[in-house]
Amino acid sequence: MIVNLESTTTSKIEKTLQELREDGGVVALGRVLTLIIETNSEHLERAIEAANGASRLHPSRIIVLVSNLEQGDKASRLDAEIRIGGDAGASEVVVIRAFGDANSNTESMVTGLLLPDAPVVAWWPSDCKANPSKNPIGEIATRRITDAAAQKDESGFLKELAKNYSPGDSDMSWTRITLWRSQIAALFDNEKNRTVTEIRVLGSKNSPSVRLLAGWLSMQLGVDTKIIHELSGIAIEGIAGVEISFDQGELAIIRTGDVASIGQTGSPDSSALLPRRSDQDCLMEDMRFLGEDEVYGAVLRNELSR
């Protein structure tokens, strides 16, 4: 069900939500957090789709603040759209469009809609500033999720994130490499007695995930990582693989499609699933743990700030 409210207020939105719950027999007690999304019109539906999917694991109240609106005569106005039931997954979705002066204070727009005694997660799936903890929404959030891959200058954005890092910050470019990090860590159980001599990451030139994976490997193994952007003169897209040389032997993980082939000295060749992760998968992971991701913070500050 979708209910549209034009020229409304936060208190009227909350009242309508309560009425819809009472009429539909839905309760908010199962909601575990409030997810606030700041995005533009272009990314709106994709962000809501990912959030709805994530809400099936983490039931939430989802508040979406839409930017890049046509301001017209700049008259102060607040329009809202409430989605519940089949249109909202296991959540309640409130889409807010603010015009004129009503758009000057985003925090006041959401304060009355936050679930009581529940953590707040903020997500910027599109263009945003690289200082999430100083954003009005970020200041009230326990977890702040950006996406460097959605920015015009991915590398510059990562550098700014490193300068402005605050506990609770996260970025989807980091969450997208979770499966890579897990697979490499598991394979290293067989390499404890070998000395790493060289590390190579095969990945696209502008991918923040490639840089974060390279930084993580350097930090964990104490060897500078080389990033290879081309194979046979053809530019690599995404992450194509990781090659690690030892004083005796090598470890190579090369991905084709969703499957990676694994070659490891002293072990038979094998394969593993390493699919590209969706925004929904990444969002579910970030919503699962709301504390500080110390490893991400260390990689960001120690490697990318150089």
Please list, residue by residue across 137-175, b when 16 or more beta carbons sit within 10 angstroms of its beta carbon and e when fewer do: bbeebebbbbbbbbbeebeebbbbbbeebeebbbbbbbb
Q: CB-side exposure of 92: number of CA atoms within 13 Å?
A: 26
Closest CA to 181 of 266, 272, 100: 272
pLDDT for the residue 89: 61
For residue 133, give Cα distances in angstroms to 40, 130, 168, 269: 20, 9, 8, 45
pLDDT the model gives residue 12: 93
Q: Which residues of the chain have a pLDDT value below 70?
A: 24-30, 68-74, 86-90, 102, 303-306
User: What pLDDT shows up at residue 72?
Assistant: 56
Predicted pLDDT at 86? 65
Distance CA 78, CA 16 (A): 15
Q: Name the 3-class secondary structure at 205.
A: coil
Give, as one character, the DSSP assignment of residue 91.
S
The pLDDT, as a whole number, for residue 56 is: 87
CA distances from 296 to 132, 164, 202, 301 (A): 15, 13, 21, 9
What is the distance between the alpha carbons of residues 180 and 215, in angstroms, rounded to a whole number?
13
Please check whether residue 201 is in contact with residue 214, taking contact to mean a CB–CB distance below 8 angstroms. yes
- Scored b (16 or more CB within 10 A) or e, 272-289 reads bebeebebbbbbbbbbee
Q: Which residues are within 8 A (CB) of 165 and not within 5 positions of it... i.e. 6 or more apart? A: 297, 300, 301
Q: Report the pLDDT value the prediction gives residue 209, as an integer from 0 to 100.
A: 96
How far separated are the first and last CA of the chain, in Å rounded? 50
Give the span between the Cα atoms of 286 and 50, in whole angstroms.
Answer: 13
Predicted local confidence at residue 101, as pLDDT: 74
| pLDDT at residue number 31 | 74
